[in-house]
Amino acid sequence: MTEPAGAGIGLLVCQPERRRRLAAELLEMGYVLAFDGDPFTLTAEAVEQLRPGVWLLEMSDDWALTDLLLEQAGVPVFCGAGDMPVTDSEDYPRWRRRLQQRLGEVLGVPHNVARPVVGEHGTQAWSVWLLAASMGGPAAVKAFLDRLPADLPVGFIYAQHIDPGFEQQLPRIVGRDNGWEVVNCHNGQAIGCGQVLIAPIGQRVHFSADRRARLLAQPWPGPYQPSIEVLLDELGRSFQPACGAIIFSGMGEDGVEACARLRERGIEIWTQDASATCTVMPDAVYQAGHSTLQGTPEQLADALQDWLQHESPARDYQ
């Protein structure tokens, strides 16, 4: 596959399987691949004609065209992408973030990647967190949102165990007087900056490759609606690495096993402390060793603001 001169990344990797994996990663980041074929088929003339934005080189030292690449004016050469961890490892998000930073310094942000825009409601959020709660949850989540400025480059999925009769009232309950746009989930909806998307009770939701909600014609599995366990897995699959979860007041242990899976991938899991009306659900996550931070809703809001400013991988796209 090739693109016009000056476009994207020229991927020169001798090992076919690694070349395939790197190509998939780069495409997922939103970059164009100027070349991702067999590098041994390239000629000196083809290298001169391609002239991508950057070469990503992983070839043996005696490859015939290495010197030509290094001498090609105006086209930087990155020698290697580093050891690529498996996608479910704790090191994977860091490896991916480092590669994005290196490429971003030369190529900038891909045009087809959503950029978080501070203060602009509705712009598709690059960073997405899950707010999970049960008994006592609405009051805790409202206190959290009341404290958190609504112009931050983040959006939320809100999973609340609640009687179906109150589902349509949740936006008014937790979004009153705080500036956050709290909405019930609709098919095809993207999560915008400054928005809180309420997970539906009666239908399972899945997030597609374009990070939009897709309502499925099936109920949530298990005893809880919505299933925090399922939504945590959806979060990690669709929004990593710029994501996290906060477990607020509630009964039961919904989500504990999924929290373990997210922590293995380096994703933040925070829990409400003894300020919770019901501490069973956040305590279950904490006692299992998966919570990286405990606090009141207000303290967690302050911590998230700090995370967005200093630690979020989405900072590379602002």
Instruction: Say which of 127, 227, 249, 254 is annotated catalytic.
Output: 254
- 254 catalytic? Reply is yes
DSSP state of 145: H
- 208 catalytic? Reply is no
- 38 catalytic? Reply is no
Q: How far is C-alpha 133 from the chain's CA centre?
A: 21
Q: What proportions of the chain, in percent to the nearest 5, are helix, strand and coil? A: 35, 20, 45
Instruction: Say which of 36, 127, 134, 290 is annotated catalytic.
Output: 134
* Cβ-Cβ contacts under 8 Å for 17 (sequence gap 6 or more): none
Order of all β-strands in the sheet with 9-13: 33-35, 9-13, 54-58, 77-79
* Cβ-Cβ contacts under 8 Å for 43 (sequence gap 6 or more): none
Instruction: Say which of 36, 161, 283, 312 is annotated catalytic.
Output: 161
Concatenate the DSSP letters of all residues of 80-95 into one string. -------TTSTTHHHH
Report whether 245 contacts 268 (CB < 8 A). yes
Give catalytic residue positions. 134, 161, 254
